Structure formats: structure tokens, C-alpha cells
A and B are shown apart, each in its own frame.
Chain A
Amino acid sequence: MSTLDTEVLVVGSGAGGATTAALLAEAGRTATVVEEGPAVDPDALEPFSLEEMVAKYRHRGPAGALGLPPIAYAEGRCVGGSTEINSGLWHRLPAELTDDWRRRYAIDDFEPGVLDRYAAEVEADLGVSTLPGDPPRSSGLLDEAAKALGWRSMEFPRAFRYDDAGRGTKQTMARTYLPRAAAAGAEIVADCRVARLEVDGARARGARCQRTRPDGTVEDLEVRADHVIVCGGAIHSPALLQRSGIRRGIGRGLKLHPTIKIAARFPFTLDHGDVPMHRITEFSPHLTIGGSANRRGHVAMALAESAEPFDAALADWERVSVYYAAIRSVGSGAVIAVPGLASPLVLYRLTPADMSTLARGLVHLGEALLAAGATELYPSVAGGGVARTRADLGRWWDRVTPATANLMTVHLTSSIRMGEDRRRTGTDSYGRVHDFENLWVNDASLLPDAPGVNPQAGIMAIAARNAAAFLA
């Protein structure tokens, strides 16, 4: 067994881990980041492609939260975490939401102004901007539809930098904060899975890991650390803590944004290389309408979710694009580490109110797509039927049920809530695990609830705030 000594061990290299590592290393701390997945050149693979899925996604793509209905989800598993595979859409946490969380969970130093200050610093570091020119057709049509219906919409900024020719580069953690961390002396260890943390009373002493060597063989690695900061995301942070015998307030209250989709066929060709930047925000934050990855493979999967014949639409796939309605769910879930298994059991319970909001979202999404000129709508609801007119949308209200709805999500949060109310949280206001002196969490798990928007901006702002508290 090899051993490695460090001052701060950061487990995970996504939005939370990379931010933590860079800020601590630049403040002079000796930091080591261990990442379960491989280091992949951010330019090597086409975004949202099969090759990217195999190389960068956990489980090569598909995973699921069990429940009625089950909810498919995807996570990154590579150096940079999910920032390497997401769309880079950027939205600060809504102030009314954070204010509610601050009061409900007794979170210190969590006023909107505080979070905005950290968000602004992250945005300046990262590079967050809107498109320099006109939006692609698949995105602009959402804006056109909203205008036609009298609804609010906006182009979301993204963590992108654009060159003079207008070419955008997504500012993933592998391109930004991780190189900064490394330049400041942090060590980044890829292909290294943390089996469990070594805990002694109220102190974490480090971690037992398995590192995969370039030749495929596996070696045991013991990392000894003065401080341990767990940033494995809302599924794997609680699973690791539970595997290490830490269960109080850990893994309960999982939140996600259940998403229902439509594959929409238009009488014109659409772009398929990017994710639409426009969102219809008329019903936000409880319900948001936007566009998904829409390569040929995504179009095929979305068409099939309707359980209707789709061969003709698939043959015409260049005129088909995939859109979604995502909701803030009233229901919640749990992450449960199972002895002997590498992956935890993930459960999620949607409420009848959630199903009703999803049905409403599907109908509103259908209205928007018809207003944008779509001629056929294939909902991700078995038995929903293909809609061609507004009158057809009416039957969807009753067809969205736990038995028929095919749902998915890419936003998972809240499995280790932060705050001083110990009955309902797993850490204090700054991510320190209750009853521990030197064990912290600093990722999406801490968000007390699903934010109703893409969570990366909120995760990074909170991570930067907590890193500053750690250093104070």
C-alpha cells in the first residue's frame, strides 16, 4: 500500500471540489484532490456524444432513482466532474429562495448579498457570458414562442468564453479551477476511488483509496490528511460518509428537478450541436421550460419515450429537437449506501402535486412548441399520443401518471443539508459535518433544496464562501 500525506484532502473534482482546491491552494494550503474518474482532454470528445458518455459519465450514462415512476439521471465521473458534461448554463441562486433557506435551516451568513458577492467573484474568474451573436434556431424558437404567447423568457448566460470569431469554449473545471489549483501546488490524483474515510472520534484522519494505474492494475492508497473535504456530489458524498459510518443527517432529503420531455418535429431543419440557451421563465422557479441535448441519439430516445410509432419522425431527425419542462419537486428522496455494493441505492418519491405540475409543464411546453411552429409533438409519456394541435394537448392532463411518465434529471442536490438546525441538517452553516472537527462537505449536497435553476452557479458560490470560512 502506498501512502500520501497532505494538509487538505479534497474528494472529488467537480464544481465544488475544484473551487475548494483552487481557493485553498492559492491561500497556501497543501491540497490533494482525488478524483474517481479519469483525466480526459476537454477538447478530445464531441459534447453529448456516445464517446463522451463512455469516457466521462458515471456508469457510462444511465443511472436511476427508484420510485414510482423511476427517474433516470446522469452524472459526470472524470476530472472536472459534471462540469465536463453539462451545458454550462449559469444562474445565480434566486434571492427569495436563499432567504427562505437561511431562515428555515438557520444558516448563518447566508444573506443574498453574501452569496452574490461570491457568485460575482466566481463569474469573473470563470468567464460567464451570453452569446455574442444570434442564437441558434433551436434556442431562438423558444424565445419566439414565448413572445407569441405573451410569456417571459430569457437567454441564460453560460460558463463560456468566446473568441473574436464568436467560437465558444465551455469553462469547465478541467480548463479553469483545476489548472489554477495545480499551479498553486495542489496535487490532482485521477482514477482514484475513495473506499472509505478513516475516522477517529470527532476527527477524520484521511481516506483509504484504490488507485487504478495506467496499466489497469489497482493499488491501495492511504491518504493521511489534517482536513478532509468531501465534494463527490449529491449521490456520492452521502454514500461515502455512510460507508465511513457517518449517518446522522446524511443522505436524507435528496432533491432533484424531475424533467418531462417532448420530441418536437418542425417543418424546418434545426441545429443539433448544442443545448438551447433560452428558457421560458413564465412559470419559474417552480416550472421551467428549456431545450435538451438533441443529437440524433437523443432524438431517437426521446421519440421512443412516447411509445408511439416514430420511424418517420426519426428518418426526419434533422427537423426534430428535444425540449423539456423541469419542475421543483415537493417530494424528496434518499441515498443509502448498501454494504458490499460500490453504488448506493437511490430512491425518490414524487408526490401527486409533483405529477400534477409535470402534467401542467408538459401542456405548457406543448403550447410553446406549437407556437414555435412544431407540427408533431411526441411526449415522454407512454399512451400520451402524438399532439398536432392545441386541442390534442388537453388529453395529456390525464395521461401523465406514475405508470406512464418517463422522467429524467441532471440536477441532484440536498442530500446533506447545511445549517444550524441539527434536526434537519448534516453539516453546520459552512459545510462542517456535525460533531466533527475537521470533516467538511462542499458540493451540491449542501443546498437545502432544489433551486429550480441550473445549480452550478449556486454550488460554486457556496463552495467559495465555505472555502473562505475554512481559511478564516
Chain B
Amino acid sequence: MLAYERQIVEALLTEEDPALRRAVVDHVDAALAAMPEPIRLGLAAETVALSAWATGRRWTRRSRSPGAQVAWLDVHPVGVVRQWVRALRSLVLFAENEMAP
């Protein structure tokens, strides 16, 4: 999992329990690694672009926190950006809710 992906995944987590959070992050990491290569390559390319874009936004103080970045990604005008965060959210939500006690 790339650094920016990890940052967003951690922002998407709602559970407080550190062990559960770690388990979900590990699951997402493994799921991303197991994705079909054409999709994983596309996601990774998008991650690099979004990471650079997010860095620019931080410099302009428009969006510092990971939570604010998720909110920005959720309503992004470019469809593939919304799909990017949708893919990560689906992985997080399913794992978090299935692993929850």
C-alpha cells in the first residue's frame, strides 16, 4: 500500500481499537496487493497524482487533515477520483464491520 493510500485508509477507519485498526489496514494492504494488475496499476497511478495534488492543497492550507481530504475526494468532480476513494472505502467498511466484535 502506498503512503497516501495508507493515510486515506486510516482516515476512513471509524474503530478506535488499535488492534482492530491494524487488522483492517493489513487486510486492505493485502486486498490491494491481490487486485488484478491492470486495476492495481491504475489505482497506484491515481494515488501518485492525488498525493501530489493533496500536497499542493496542504501548501495552500486548503486541506490539512486526512478527514478533510476524504471529504474533498468524496465530492471530487472527476469520476475516477470518486471511484478511487470508493474502492478504498469499500475495503475498509467491509473489513471493519466484519471484524468488529
Contact = CB atoms under 8 A, between A and B. Distances in A.
Interface of A: 49-50, 54, 59-64, 66, 68-70, 295-301, 304-305, 307, 314, 317, 338, 341-346, 382, 402-403, 406
A300 B96 contact: yes
A342 B100 CA distance: 34
Interface string B1-39: 000000000000000000000000001001100111111
Nearest to B80: A70
8 contacts: A60-B31, A66-B42, A296-B98, A297-B95, A297-B97, A307-B74, A345-B38, A382-B82
B74 A62 contact: no
B93 A60 contact: no
Contacts of B91: 62
Q: Is the interface of B mostly helix, strand, loop or mixed?
A: helix
B92 to A, nearest CB: 9
Interface in B61-86: 74, 79, 82-83, 86
B38 A66 contact: yes
Contacts of B93: 297, 300-301, 304
B39 A403 contact: no
Given A61-B31, A301-B90, A403-B79, A50 B37 contact: no
A63 B39 CA distance: 8
Query: Max chain A CB contacts within 10 Å: which of B31, B38, B74?
Result: B38
Contacts of B87: 62
Contacts of B38: 66, 338, 341, 343-346
Contacts, number: 80
Chain B interface residue number, banded: 20 to 34
B99 interface: yes
Interface of B: 27, 30-31, 34-39, 42, 74, 79, 82-83, 86-87, 89-91, 93-100
B94 A343 contact: no
Contact of A50 (B86, B90, B95): B95
Given A59-B34, A342-B37, A343-B38, A301 B83 contact: no
B30 to A, nearest CB: 6
B46 to A, nearest CB: 12
A297 B37 contact: no
B64 to A, nearest CB: 23
Nearest to B38: A345
Given A300-B94, A338-B38, 8 more contacts: A54-B30, A60-B30, A61-B31, A66-B38, A300-B96, A301-B93, A341-B38, A342-B37
B96 to A, nearest CB: 7
Given A382-B82, A406-B86, A296 B37 contact: no
Contacts of A382: 82
A412 to B, nearest CB: 13
Contacts of A301: 90, 93-94
> Top 8 closest A-B pairs, CB basis?
A343-B36, A50-B98, A297-B94, A297-B98, A300-B93, A297-B97, A300-B97, A60-B34
Contacts of B95: 50, 297
Nearest to B14: A311
Given A61-B31, A296-B97, A300-B93, A341 B37 contact: yes
Contacts of A68: 79
A204 B71 CA distance: 54
Contacts of A64: 36, 39
Query: Max chain A CB contacts within 10 Å: which of B36, B37, B87, B91?
Result: B36
A382 B86 CA distance: 10
A66 B39 contact: yes
B3 to A, nearest CB: 21
Given A50-B27, A50-B99, A296-B100, A63 B36 contact: yes
A403 B75 CA distance: 12
Contacts of A300: 93-94, 96-97
